[in-house]
Structure 1
Amino acid sequence: MKSLLTTKKLTIINFMIVLYFALIFLINYYKIDLVILGVFREMLTIPFLIAQVVFLVIGIKFTLKNSKNFLLLFSLLALGICAVITIGSFF
């Protein structure tokens, strides 16, 4: 049975999570106040927070077991930094 998670899929997911939080930061920085953006931000923030931690753990385990692709390592590093900043903003 082929694995459902490949290096390419994991890299894309990691970059999508980092991009989401970067967009949230830019929306707050430039004070863009649109109702539809606020609705999507409220609906997606908690699932992305959970996904951030889950995919960081999955990515580390995947990297230790399988090949060490440069782009995957870079996406894991970016996701780790994003997780530290995001979770650190609560304290």
Structure 2
Amino acid sequence: MKNVVLLLFVILLAIIPLIIQKDAEFGGADGQAEEVIGEVAPAYKPWFNAIWEPPSGEIESLLFSLQAALGASVIGYVIGYGKARKKYSSTKQ
């Protein structure tokens, strides 16, 4: 029961800002940093260009989500492996 309440709370935390700020634009830190650099040093030239640009923002979001899911999977596996190793190593002794 406690897990269901916590899950609903997390879902509400994710949905409420979208309801309150209907026309809000949720941008990333990269875009904000680019704007500030443009204001502070208008003659700034990047050191290098991107090797590949995703064809659309949706593809970029998909790749970012896949990267986050892969990272979370690796972290979850390492934590689970460590807990299982600790659990089964203490029962053998």
Indicate whether the TM-score tops 0.5.
Answer: no
Which of 1 and 2 has greater Rg? 2
TM-score normalised over the length of structure 2: 0.29
- Which structure is higher in RCO with an 8 Å CA cutoff and minimum separation 6? 1
